[in-house]
Amino acid sequence: MDILTPRLLLRPMSADFLQASAEGCGVRDLSGLIGLTVAEDWLAEADLAALRLADLRSDPEYAPWSVRAIALRDSGEMIGHAGFHTRPAPEYLLPYAPDGVETGYTIYPAHRRRGLGREALIALLRWAHLDQGVPRFIASVRPDNLASCSLLASTGFRRIASFIDEVDGLEYVMRLDPPALRRLLKAVDDL
């Protein structure tokens, strides 16, 4: 099921779409599989597609939490992707948010600096909180990703830890707790 915002739709990526992406299919074939105009930028995400496909195969209940295409509602153009790393309450989050889930997002360069990442992130948080009952969220971000650090801070996430990722190096662990989440959703609803 799509998640809709005023400007965006967040469409789940099916196993068929992820498999075709992992296998290196072109944008035309991929666009037909998801019903959106797939961005060339997505073609560089074959490793992510393979990872999320493996997650879906090992846990079919993960499907609504998996990666989603972010697309402009008016054109159907894919401008990024977002989702959750697991279903809620995974073991690895026990030290940070035992009742939470970790989110991640990417807006492709041509569409940055327009508030689209914020809109997509809030839509994911709203869906997970209101429809699924998740009270707490985690995001991991490299400290040199200033735009993402700023977005997370502006939505109420606060830094609670850091760690060294094998691939990305130093990352901050950011958490959004229930009071900040309620303030964020209320502020958005009041607009």
Please give the pLDDT value at position 114: 96
User: Which residue from 86, 31, 101, 88 is spatially nearest to 56, judged by alpha carbons?
Assistant: 86
Q: Could you give the percent of the chain with pLDDT greater than 90?
A: 95
User: Which residue from 29, 62, 64 is spatially nearest to 43, judged by alpha carbons?
Assistant: 29
Residue pLDDT, tens place only, 79-91? 999 999 999 999 9
Residue pLDDT, tens place only, 83-118? 999 999 999 999 999 999 999 999 999 999 999 999
Residue pLDDT, tens place only, 27-56? 999 999 999 999 999 999 999 999 999 999
Q: Is the pLDDT of residue 139 over 80?
A: yes
* Number of residues written out for the chain: 191
User: Measured in whole angstroms, how far is the alpha carbon of residue 3 from the centre of its chain?
Assistant: 12
User: Which residue from 191, 181, 172, 75 is spatially nearest to 122, judged by alpha carbons?
Assistant: 181
Q: And the tokens for 101?
A: 């889930």
What's 110's domain CATH number?
A: 3.40.630.30
**Count of structural domains, the chain:** 1
Please give the pLDDT value at position 191: 67
Please give the pLDDT value at position 190: 80
What backbone torsions phi and psi does residue 143 show, to the nearest 5 degrees?
-65, -25
Question: What confidence tier does 5 reach under pLDDT thresholds 50, 70, 90?
Answer: very high
User: Which residue from 22, 20, 44, 23 is spatially nearest to 33, judged by alpha carbons?
Assistant: 20
**CA atoms of 43 and 39, how far apart (whole Å):** 8
Give the contacts of 74 (CB within 8 A, at least 6 positions apart): 7
Structural domain boundaries, residue 18: 3-189
